Structure 1
């Protein structure tokens, strides 16, 4: 079923359209959600996030506005997954195990020294990446922060995927040398 057929069903019969939307895009939403949340939350939380994504889409998507349905769905799935990721990170810092008999003194879960050190390392990394200049800095950010493939990055910066891989290799060696002094 094509995107336009799903849009037509949503306009003519919302119930049938929602069913078609779910059937057609379930694997797409699940793949996005799984990629972001795998290993961080439970599988039931991932499934809950997928269902929440479809609920958001079905409540807020207007087929009359036009635009790409798949892009809209992908954006909602990504945002919902990131929100769940943030919530799970907040929960992990604020939970205390009740399995132990020793409640004793409750210690802060935040290690200030470690947090400060991590911030220093992050700032040094960002500075080193910026120092690479373009297009190397763009390539590194797209590869390691946005998890894009060499062919996708090549289209962004106007290089072949082979040239992108070569630049990644050289840039990573330069970053390693630049950051060796820091660590």
Structure 2
């Protein structure tokens, strides 16, 4: 039966037209509703929503309209299923509105933007330290990252402690110039 025949039947004998509409579009409406509320509601909830869709369509549809029944019914089914899903989610507490006053308690205190900036700065700093080359880059990393003493670093790089301190001071000056060239001041 075509949409025009169903609309004509609804004008002439509404109960038969409504039955024809239900018979033709039941599976279509059920599949839309089930897809949207799946995982949130039970099969009984889906059936209830389907019945609500047909009740709404039959009360609001004007049989004189020359419209596509499939698109009209599909839209009503989608909207009803979304409303049902929201209602079921609210009852089970599975979702939280962003406007909820308790949302601040749930929010993470991590500063993503700040961490990103620190990460980029750290990456640039490490790149500039590696540009110093060995043994200066090794001395800087061991002293400031691993907090090693000049004596411990001297044993690693094969210099004496005084030479390590001297190289560290000069390497820091060179590193400062490299960073300033990229617009970073310490």
TM-score (norm 1): 0.52
List per-residue Cα deviations over 1:64-100 (Å, max 9, x = no partner): 1222111110011001000001111111129xxxxxx
For 1:33, the equivalent position in structure 2 comes to 33
List per-residue Cα deviations over 1:40-62 (Å, max 9, x = no partner): 10110000000110000111100
For 2:54 and 2:45, how far apart are their aligned partners in 1? 14
* Residue-pair matches, total: 104
Aligned pairs for 1:62-73 (under 5 A) are 62-73=62-73
CA-based RMSD of the aligned residues comes to 2.4
For 2:93 and 2:82, how far apart are their aligned partners in 1? 17
Structure 2 unaligned regions, length at least 5: 95-101, 113-186
For 1:7 and 1:14, how far apart are their aligned partners in 2? 9
Deviation for aligned residue 1:24: 0.4
For 1:4 and 1:67, how far apart are their aligned partners in 2? 9
Deviation for aligned residue 1:35: 0.6
List per-residue Cα deviations over 1:127-178 (Å, max 9, x = no partner): xxxxxxxxxxxxxxxxxxxxxxxxxxxxxxxxxxxxxxxxxxxxxxxxxxxx
Structure 1 unaligned regions, length at least 5: 95-109, 122-183
Deviation for aligned residue 1:112: 3.7
TM-score (norm 2): 0.52
2:37 matches 1:3: no
Moved over 3 A (4+): 110-114
- Find the structure with the greater CA-based Rg: 2
